[in-house]
Chain A
Amino acid sequence: MKTPPSLITGIGSVTPFGPLAGLLPSTSIAPRVITAWPTPGLRHAFLVEPFRPAAVVPGLKTRRLDRLSAWALVASSLALQDAGVDLNQMDRSRIAVVFATSFGCVELTEAFFQSAATNGWPSTDPITFPETLSNAPAGHVALFHQLQGPNLTVSSKSFAAESALLQAASLLRHGQADMAVVIAGDTLTQAIYEWYEAAHMLDPACFNEEPLSPSTEFIPGEGVVAMVLEPTGKRQTRSYAALRGGHWASGGDAQSCIHQLLSGAAPPRILCAGNGAPCASSSETCSARKIAGPDAVILPRQPVAAGLADTGALFHLLLALSQRPGSGEAIMLGTADVSGFAALHLELP
């Protein structure tokens, strides 16, 4: 879809880099040894260090929430702050929240199963149940900031974050909101990690003290990234990038789609966003080379963001923007393990 661009005016994140507003530091992050749960041997993952949300966002109460809800609250608060948004000066009924997740509030879902296993299904925990719903984080963000616009939670195989970003842009385009807080992420739990392990999806680096290499495939990770999206010209503010359009699909031809987005031109710059599945190994880079012009800059996918699988694209975008890849048009390309692609058409300042 080709339309007037939306601007990314604020960024907040809770990732293995910690809770941060704006771009990320230029340090690299290594996977950590898992100590949060018992493992059958050495196991690594890209984990978020525990922190107190109220220390980052004063007044935030998260005691009964899943970490996903808590991080969504922190990341969205940091993004709005980074965008210089004074919510008291805004019509909050015109601000949307669009949240992308693959597993939802899986920690409290597991806790609910635990209460069923311990006490039986007739005696489960009433406080936990509503917090297991996938849209609980987006609901809490709306409640905390008093945002009364459309409030969506979406999930899409491989491209949940891209889908969220494009649907948020669609809300702005159709006048259904004047601003959108787009959030994407997941938490990692023992049960999810063990599922990846049982499905033989883990990279050897998950088991050893090996340094990361370009061939590193999938190391599970966690985190949440939030971005504030606004229509061009609504507010005088700086932007990290303009989202000109994009497309996601579970099949089809990425190359012709991208050339359509760029009106026939080859992309000068491609930011790769892998979905983290093992068989996606560098397929983005291969696709990117086929699509890009001979002098194109190609930023490969980052294992720390690929660890978020379906919801990693906002994190990939944040990492790419943090590398300051130069100004001009860019395509953020994601490819899936079986088929499908997502392409975001960006204009970098």
Chain B
Amino acid sequence: MIDAKKTIVVTGIGVVSPYGIGWAALRDGMLAGKCCLQPATDLYPGFQGTLAKVGELPQLPESHNFSRSDKLAVLAARDAMSGFNGVSETLRASGIIMASTVAGLSEIDAEIARGAADWYRHGGLKRASSFSVSCVGAAVGKHLKIDGPNCTVSVACASGAMSIALGANMLLDGAAPMVLAGGSDALCPFTLSGFNSLQALDPQLCRPFDQNRQGLNIGEGAAVLLLETLAHARERGAPIHAVLRGWAMTNDASHPTAPRNDGAGLATCIGQALERSGCGIDEIGYVNAHGTGTPLNDIAETHAIERAFSGRATPIPVSSTKSYFGHCLGAAGALEAAITITAMQSGALFPTLRLTNPIESDSVDYLRGELRRVPLPVAMSVSAGFGGSNAALVFGRLSA
């Protein structure tokens, strides 16, 4: 017997991705197996790599101070709310927990380093006003006229999943009737240059979980989930896309950037999320992995999944959907949550693209080749990031 006041459900999903604006565009693109990654040279002089861009964004009212990350977030939030037919006062009091790592960094150019005061005098003042990551959540609140609790999480590449976990906590606290939770990050020279300097980028198309993987490709986008309790959703007759059955957050406390090779921190996180969800290891039908394509992440993550699902009757199906449109950093966890729900609704397990020679594992079933059609009542999405943070989300169908 479920407690409707303590059950968190997803009643809206909004996405802006390299497939276009809208969750439907993402769903159709991924079901068609379309890859959005393309060679690019125009992010900054000297850049040569592979990435996935979102096209030109539509004009938004009163958005003159918005960064590109803000705009992506607003558009995704608007998409998530597109079917909302509830009471406007309920919406006004709702919470917003967004995630971002880039935020307004995309609006600042290196010229600021030659003299900030001068740069501000020549148009930089307004551009710099969106620098703080808090601006992403604030932009969504301003645009949708939502004035409940509002914050932005910035926990590197685990941010997007953590915003959903914290949104669920906020609902259980009764701090807001509904919560918009998600992540947004724009492409910008700062992050591309940073990952390039770390030699973490694959100049060609990335190959997550392949033995010959060379690194990641970066993408951009945003995803927002509308969360509320089952009781609240039923009261207003909202469509229920999924139940957020479990969530957990841990830290490796091992290295500033590298994950623990044995995957222990992420395995603990997965275990805690499973425990909270009440699901056994055999019930999970699919894991949407963090799967960046870097040599360090993918082996550590494989070890984590092997540990967490040790004793399972059959190998656990796993894929990295970063192979479709790259690593969207602070938005990745939220986008992958949306993809996990898409997989459940479509009964389709998305393969990792270009995976020809998977990391050897007896207990991981690396999805590759064709889309696999299976009923999927319960699935998991996992994320990890610099600073050692891990997050895991378990989604299920309402009847599951």
Does A113 lie at the interface of the complex (its beta carbon under 8 Å from any beta carbon of B)?
yes
The interface residues of chain A lying within 8 Å CB-to-CB of B385 are 135
Q: A157–B136 Cα gap in the complex (Å)? A: 10
Interface size band for B: 35 or more
Please tell me if the beta carbons of A130 and B198 are within 8 angstroms of each other in the complex: yes
* B295 contacts chain A at the CB level, 8 A cutoff: no
Q: A139-B386, A147-B251 are in contact. Are A121 and B151 (CB under 8 A)?
A: no
CB distance from A185 to the nearest CB of B (A): 14
Question: B46: which A residues are within 8 A, CB to CB?
Answer: 120-122
Judge whether A155 and B151 touch: CB under 8 Å.
yes
Please determine whether A249 and B147 come into contact, CB atoms closer than 8 angstroms. yes
A90 within 8 A of B: no
Q: How far is the CB of A1 from chain B (nearest CB, A)?
A: 4
- B315: interface (CB < 8 Å): no
- With a CB–CB cut-off of 8 A, which chain A residues contact B256? 130-131, 136, 139-140, 143
Once A139-B386, A139-B387, A147-B251 are accepted as A-B contacts, the answer to whether A113 and B155 lie under 8 Å apart by CB is no
Is there a chain B Cβ closer than 8 Å to A247's Cβ? yes
Q: In the complex, are the beta carbons of A151 and B388 less than 8 A apart?
A: yes
Chain A residues with CB under 8 Å of B190's CB are: 112-113, 116
Given contacts A121-B45, A139-B389, A156-B134, contact A248 B149 (CB under 8 A): yes
**Cα distance, A340 to B151, chains bound together (Å):** 13
Stretch at the interface among B13-21, B108-116, B297-305: B108-116
* Bound-state Cα–Cα, A181 to B119, Å: 38
CB neighbors of B among A4-32 (8 A): none
Given A103-B132, A160-B134, A198-B120: A142 in contact with B388 (beta carbons within 8 A): yes
Q: Is the CB of B193 within 8 A of A124?
A: yes
0/1 interface trace, chain A 99-134, chain B, CB 8 Å (1 if under): 000111000011011101110111111100111111
B269 CB → nearest A CB, Å: 9
Q: Is the CB of A97 within 8 A of B251?
A: yes
Chain B stretch 145-166: residues in CB contact (< 8 A) with chain A = 146-156, 162, 166
Q: In the complex, are the beta carbons of B154 and A133 less than 8 A apart?
A: yes
Is the beta-carbon distance between A199 and B251 smaller than 8 angstroms?
no
Distance in Å: Cβ of B386 to nearest Cβ of chain A: 5
Which residues of the partner chain A approach B64 to less than 8 Å between Cβ atoms? Answer: none
In the bound complex, what is the Cα–Cα distance between A139 and B250 (angstroms)?
A: 11
Q: Taking the nearest CB of chain B, how far is it from the CB of A131, in angstroms? A: 8
Given A116-B189, A150-B249, A155-B154, A251–B147 Cβ distance below 8 Å? yes
Query: Would you give the shortest CB distance from A190 to chain B, in whole angstroms?
Result: 6
The interface residues of chain B lying within 8 Å CB-to-CB of A142 are: 251, 253, 387-388
B contacts with A: majority SS:
mixed
CB-defined contacts of A109 to chain B, threshold 8 Å? 105
B120 and A121 contact, CB distance less than 8 A: no
Looking at the complex, which of A168-176, A228-236, A312-320, A323-331 is the stretch in contact with chain B?
A168-176
Least CB distance from A308 to B in Å reads 13
Complex contacts, B198 vs chain A, CB 8 Å: 126, 129-130
Q: Is the CB of A121 within 8 A of B268?
A: no
The segment from B28-36, B172-180, B232-240, B366-374 found at the interface with A is B172-180
In chain B, positions 37-55 with a C-beta closer than 8 Å to chain A are 44-47
Name the 7 nearest CB pairs between A and B, nearest first: A251-B147, A139-B387, A129-B194, A191-B116, A156-B151, A150-B249, A122-B46
Given A121-B47, A149-B250, 11 extra CB contacts under 8 A: A116-B190, A117-B114, A122-B47, A133-B156, A134-B133, A143-B253, A145-B253, A150-B249, A151-B250, A151-B387, A249-B149
* 28 pairs from A and B in contact (CB 8 Å cutoff): A1-B174, A103-B131, A112-B190, A120-B46, A123-B197, A125-B197, A129-B193, A129-B197, A130-B194, A135-B156, A138-B387, A139-B387, A139-B389, A143-B256, A148-B252, A148-B268, A154-B151, A155-B133, A156-B134, A156-B137, A156-B151, A167-B151, A167-B169, A170-B172, A195-B125, A247-B149, A248-B149, A248-B150
List residues of A whose CB falls within 8 A of some B CB: 1, 3, 40, 92-93, 97, 102-104, 109-110, 112-114, 116-118, 120-126, 129-136, 138-140, 142-143, 145-157, 159-160, 163, 166-167, 170-171, 173-174, 176, 190-191, 194-195, 197-199, 247-252, 310, 339-340
